[in-house]
Amino acid sequence: MSSNQHPMLNVAVKAARAAGAIINRAALDVEAVRISQKQTNDFVTEIDHAAENAIIETLLTAYPDHGIWAEESGREHGKASSDHVWVIDPLDGTTNFIHGFPVYCVSIALLVRGRVEQAVIYDPTRNDLFTATRGRGAYLNDRRLRVSKRTQLKESLVSTGFPFRPGDNFNIYLRMMSDVMKRTAGLRRPGAAALDLAYVAAGYTEGFFETGLSPWDVAAGSLLVTEAGGLIGNFTGEADFLEQRECVAGNPKVYGQLVAILGKYSKFASAGEKADLRQNTPNLVEPSLQPGTQIDDGPVSDD
């Protein structure tokens, strides 16, 4: 990590480590953690709330005039009208955490007038700290990150997330995964989208795609990817993806190949592409979110 780190990134790192300490302590006796269910297969724990509170307290102590947009508490903290908004996922991969499966992370991003300028993703199980400042590169601890140099999808490892909420269309996702899987060296489903994006930035995987994601799942990871030389957007390749609930990322060559495969599955696909998809996919349910629609600010979880 660069020694001349941006002051706001320093504060975000402090917040992420504070949350990570809470998570690590709880992981020593995960069966004692109180769990509640937001909806089917969508869990929240007392640790999500405690970690989020620690992050918010750290950020607002340093920057009381900044806004907060957090997974569990929405926009109830901070200054709602601020140009500076912290986007927080205190524990991405909650389902993994409550099972003791060590793939989860803390994700914090700073939006300045709607653009991600600072990013931290912290994996407390490995003490891996991913950071990025716009224009200054992406880092894992002290190492500068670059995306993988592989250019062929058939040589690439790609990560994704499976649908799990009521109303998710499994048939269309199975087709999507089949289209990608048979063209790659392997498809992985770790269960924490923020960490998936950090791994694209680090070159551990060549690409990532998923639907149904919220801004706090992808905001920090998106800056890591681009600062490491990668690309990120929606399934049709448009860069304005943050609130569109579909995301694809990768090194430049693999990104282009994934967009070519996934474009027809986008809610922004052409009428002809959607007609072909309906014809070939039984029980297809059209996505309800239309272009320009804003998602709710209330709690939604990736895992």
Domain for residue 192, yes or no?
Answer: yes
Domain for residue 297, yes or no?
Answer: no
Give the range of the structural domain holding residue 36, as residue numbers without chain letter. 7-144
pLDDT at 35: 85
| Same domain, yes or no: 85 and 161 | no
| Same domain, yes or no: 136 and 17 | yes
pLDDT at 271: 57
pLDDT at 162: 82
| Same domain, yes or no: 124 and 205 | no
Domain for residue 117, yes or no?
Answer: yes
| Same domain, yes or no: 32 and 107 | yes
The whole-model pTM stands at 0.87
- What are the C-alpha distances in Å from 50 to residues 19, 90, 137, 139, 266? 8, 9, 31, 27, 36
Residue 221 pairs with which residues in a beta bridge? none
| Same domain, yes or no: 220 and 174 | yes
Q: Of the candidates 144, 170, 189, which is a domain's last residue?
A: 144
Q: Of the candidates 81, 109, 144, which is a domain's last residue?
A: 144
- What are the C-alpha distances in Å from 222 to residues 55, 133, 158, 199? 20, 11, 16, 11
Query: Is-contact 34 50, C-beta < 8 A?
Result: no
Query: Is-contact 72 52, C-beta < 8 A?
Result: yes
| Same domain, yes or no: 165 and 113 | no
| Same domain, yes or no: 203 and 119 | no
| Same domain, yes or no: 81 and 177 | no
| Same domain, yes or no: 202 and 266 | yes
Alpha-carbon span 139 to 130, nearest angstrom: 6
| Same domain, yes or no: 159 and 273 | yes
CB atoms within 10 A of CB 193: 29
Alpha-carbon span 136 to 216, nearest angstrom: 22
Domain for residue 41, yes or no?
Answer: yes
Q: Of the candidates 144, 173, 193, which is a domain's last residue?
A: 144
- What are the C-alpha distances in Å from 152 to residues 158, 179, 233, 255? 12, 15, 19, 10
Number of domain units in the chain = 2
Domain for residue 131, yes or no?
Answer: yes
CA angle centred on 220, ends 42 and 174, rounded to 5°? 45
| Same domain, yes or no: 62 and 107 | yes
Domain containing residue 51: CATH number: 3.30.540.10
Domain for residue 290, yes or no?
Answer: no
Over the chain (303 residues), what is each successive 10-residue block's mean pLDDT? 80 98 95 75 81 98 98 94 98 95 98 98 98 98 97 97 72 91 96 98 98 95 98 96 94 98 90 57 40 35 47
Query: Is-contact 292 244, C-beta < 8 A?
Result: no
**3-class state of residue 110 by DSSP:** strand
Domain containing residue 245: CATH number: 3.40.190.80
Query: Is-contact 103 195, C-beta < 8 A?
Result: yes
pLDDT at 303: 56
**3-class state of residue 191 by DSSP:** coil
Q: Which residues in 153-205 belong to E strands, given as ranges?
A: 157-160, 186-188
On the 0-12 / 13-18 / 19+ scale of CB atoms within 10 A, 64 is: exposed
**3-class state of residue 84 by DSSP:** strand
pLDDT at 284: 44
Domain for residue 293, yes or no?
Answer: no
CB atoms within 10 A of CB 39: 13
**Count of H helices and E strands in the chain?**
8, 14
pLDDT at 173: 87
pLDDT at 83: 98
pLDDT at 169: 74
CA 97 to chain centre: 16
Alpha-carbon span 136 to 92, nearest angstrom: 25
| Same domain, yes or no: 139 and 157 | no
Domain for residue 286, yes or no?
Answer: no
